[in-house]
């Protein structure tokens, strides 16, 4: 297994495309971080006090930068996953690989592991670079997990402030981790599609066209026909659930004034959507595995 | 190491590509794997490696390849000159393969030099010629210094010097008690290279014997004799149950040896001007044996086609 892993690791890192993809994902995420920063700071007309501080210290900027353009950034990363099997079939490398590793399960496991590890590394670099960029473009930045909660009534009297900073580090982390979970599930799914179709372009096109057009069309149709007939589509649609999973922001609209603790109760919901998305990825991965095992190389 | 192919079969729908094929590859000799186009040679090699799923099994020293911890150390295979990523450098391609067998980068450089790819090692192989692709494929197969080498048409695209080098190298490699199976359409090369032959046609085994035995079975082996007393000699040869065919200024006696023809000539008082043993080439023997098993046949010459049309 170690040999298969090392083989797959070298396969991935000795390709220039891998580095281009990682670099493109990084640059794109940094760009969106900058855009998110500009939007967040631009809308604030408060230059002093806790509200301004909340704006400038909000970890949500990073979360936003990861969540907002998630489809663009993750599609770039998904290209890496599509390459894992797509290149094998396109260039006849399956014969080289499977003659070295006749136990194909080892190759499948190694590929899956490397896809997940490299994706996690890219994500970590993207996230930490976003934090770094925020500190760079505004030296006053004190990146923390603080969010601003608006105070009302007696609290205002007691403190004399219009709001206070609350620390929701676990909540912020959970939101950020959901973006990681999303991208990991997505790369699994795209890798599975590329193994099933034996085509890198087809995997990328399918994984882009499906959520953008096919699924949207089906869901619109279900809406038009009424919930009775195709209402179940909302429950099982992979990318609609993925979107709910990654973009769920319950209680995170601070500092616009809503209550953060109230949002925590709803955090069960996005995970259910995440499970649906993951179930699709696992199903396709299982089909891909069976095909890789049984197909002639 | 002994390689036993046992009842290998493979069908693509109704088409039977390989049928009940069994043969054994011995260490210390080069086995030539011959057959017309579409006879199932490449499919057989893929079956041996477990790349294609079919019936039967291939045992390497009594064990399936998959049961070895590092199969890449047991078998080195070169199946095609284009099985690489066009943008991964040749050296990196080999480094990747080296991970499968656990060999060092030093060995990678060694093999690159061995196959003469030193100058192109850090180049992307998308611009490689067929010959350079063959060298890269061969380097990959040799990387782990395996006990078994399977080469599918390794000489395609190589220049004469490289073919000569390949022949010497394969002979030397097999001489180290390794198993070498080489398929090739270059029969003149195979005649110089192989000790043993496995010949297949339409997926079935036609011959599994030494090169000498295979060639000796050809009806093209004959004795050519020239004599001014040809009528007398032909009569005497036919009396001895031999076949005698007039050929130009002489007589061809298929399946005979010079001693016998000389004795017959002596007995009938024929004066001999030439007595030559003619041995069929591998190509002649191969064409004779596989003439009925060709999957794809070429059309005739233009003139023949015209003549046929006129009839």
- The CATH code of the domain that includes B251 is 3.30.70.100
d(CA A14, CA A9): 8
pLDDT digits (tens, 9 = 90+) for B121-142: 999 999 898 889 999 999 999 9
- Summarize the confidence of residues A71-91 as an average pLDDT: 89
Question: Do B84 and B197 sit in the same domain of this protein?
Answer: yes
pLDDT digits (tens, 9 = 90+) for B19-28: 999 999 999 9
* Element at A134 (helix H, strand E): helix A104-137
- To the nearest whole angstrom, how far is the Cα of A118 from the nearest Cα of chain B? 17
Question: Do B212 and B265 sit in the same domain of this protein?
Answer: no
Question: Do B130 and B146 sit in the same domain of this protein?
Answer: yes
Domain hosting B269: range is 222-278
Nearest to B75 among A9, A91, A99 (CB): A99
**ipTM of predicted complex:** 0.82
CB B77 within 8 A of CB B143: no
Question: Do B184 and B250 sit in the same domain of this protein?
Answer: no
Domain of B30, CATH number, reads: 3.40.50.300
Question: Do B184 and B125 sit in the same domain of this protein?
Answer: yes
Number of structural domains found in chain B: 2
Question: Is position B296 within any domain?
Answer: no
Contact A95 B87 (CB under 8 A): no
Question: Is position B40 within any domain?
Answer: yes
Question: Is position B298 within any domain?
Answer: no
Question: Do B170 and B228 sit in the same domain of this protein?
Answer: no
Nearest to A15 among B50, B85, B140 (CB): B85
- pLDDT-flagged residues of chain B (< 50): 302-311
Question: Do B129 and B10 sit in the same domain of this protein?
Answer: yes
pLDDT digits (tens, 9 = 90+) for A181-226: 989 999 999 999 999 999 988 998 888 888 888 888 888 877 777 6
Question: Is position B226 within any domain?
Answer: yes
Taking contacts as CB-CB distances below 8 angstroms, the residues of chain A near B99 are 3, 6-7, 9-10
Question: Do B182 and B228 sit in the same domain of this protein?
Answer: no
Question: Do B157 and B211 sit in the same domain of this protein?
Answer: yes
B12 contact A CB<8A: no
Contact A7 B95 (CB under 8 A): no
Chain A nearest-CA residue for B65? A102
Instruction: Give the pLDDT of residue B74.
Output: 95
* Best residue in B96, B133, B151 for a mutation probing chain A (most A CBs within 10 Å): B96
B298 contact A CB<8A: no
Question: Is position B189 within any domain?
Answer: yes
- A148-157, A266-275, B226-235 — which one is most confidently predicted on average? B226-235
């Amino acid at each position: 297994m170690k040999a298969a892993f090392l083989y797959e690791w070298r396969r991935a890192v000795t390709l220039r495309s891998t580095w281009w993809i990682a670099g493109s994902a990084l640059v794109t995420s940094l760009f969106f971080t900058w855009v998110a920063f500009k939007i967040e700071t631009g809308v604030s007309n408060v230059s002093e006090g806790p509200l301004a501080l909340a704006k400038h210290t909000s970890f949500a900027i990073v979360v936003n930068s990861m969540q907002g353009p998630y489809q663009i950034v993750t599609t770039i990363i998904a290209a890496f996953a599509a390459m894992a099997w797509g290149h094998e079939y396109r260039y006849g490398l399956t014969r080289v690989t499977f003659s070295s590793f006749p136990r194909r399960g080892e190759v499948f496991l190694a590929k899956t592991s490397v896809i997940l590890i490299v994706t996690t590394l890219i994500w970590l670099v993207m996230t930490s670079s976003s934090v770094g960029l925020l500190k760079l473009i505004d030296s006053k930045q004190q990146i923390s997990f603080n969010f601003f909660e608006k105070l009302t009534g007696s609290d205002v009297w007691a403190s004399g402030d219009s709001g206070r900073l609350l620390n929701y580090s676990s909540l912020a982390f959970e939101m950020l981790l959901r973006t990681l979970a999303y991208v990991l599930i997505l790369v699994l799914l795209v890798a599975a599609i590329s193994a099933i179709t034996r085509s890198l372009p087809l995997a990328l096109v399918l994984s882009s066209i499906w959520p953008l057009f096919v699924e949207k069309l089906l869901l619109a149709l279900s809406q038009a026909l009424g919930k009775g007939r195709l209402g179940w589509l909302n429950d099982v649609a992979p990318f609609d659930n993925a979107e709910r999973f990654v973009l769920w922001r319950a209680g995170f609209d601070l500092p616009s004034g809503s209550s953060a603790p109230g949002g925590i109760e709803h955090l069960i919901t996005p995970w259910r959507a995440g499970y649906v998305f993951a179930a699709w990825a696992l199903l396709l991965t299982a089909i891909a595995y069976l095909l890789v095992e049984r197909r002639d190389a | 190491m002994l390689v036993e192919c046992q009842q290998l079969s493979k069908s693509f729908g109704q088409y039977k590509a390989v049928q009940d094929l069994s043969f054994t590859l011995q260490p210390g000799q080069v086995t030539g794997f011959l057959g017309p186009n579409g006879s199932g040679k490449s499919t057989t090699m893929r079956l041996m490696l477990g790349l294609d799923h079919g019936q039967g099994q291939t045992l390497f020293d009594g064990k399936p390849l998959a049961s070895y911890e590092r199969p890449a150390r047991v078998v080195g295979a070169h199946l095609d000159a284009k099985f690489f990523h066009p943008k991964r450098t040749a050296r990196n391609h080999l480094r990747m393969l080296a991970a499968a067998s656990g060999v060092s980068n030093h060995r990678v450089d060694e093999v690159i030099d061995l196959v003469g790819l030193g100058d192109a090692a850090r180049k992307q192989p998308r611009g490689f010629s067929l010959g350079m692709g063959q060298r890269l494929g061969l380097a990959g197969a040799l990387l782990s210094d395996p006990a078994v080498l399977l080469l599918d048409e390794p000489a395609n695209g190589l220049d004469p010097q490289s073919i000569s080098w390949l022949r010497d190298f394969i002979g030397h490699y097999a001489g180290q008690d390794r198993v070498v199976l080489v398929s090739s359409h270059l029969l003149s090369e195979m005649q110089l290279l192989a000790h043993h032959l496995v010949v297949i046609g339409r997926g079935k085994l036609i011959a599994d014997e030494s090169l000498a035995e295979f060639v000796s079975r050809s009806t093209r082996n004959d004795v050519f004799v020239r004599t001014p007393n040809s009528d007398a000699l032909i009569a005497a040869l036919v009396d001895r149950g031999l076949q005698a065919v007039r050929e130009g200024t002489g007589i061809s006696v298929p399946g005979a040896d010079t001693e016998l023809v000389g004795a017959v000539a002596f007995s009938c008082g024929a004066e001999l001007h030439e007595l030559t043993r003619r041995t069929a080439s591998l190509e002649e023997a191969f064409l004779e044996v596989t003439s009925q098993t060709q999957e794809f046949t070429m059309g005739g010459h233009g003139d023949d086609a015209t003549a046929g049309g006129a009839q």
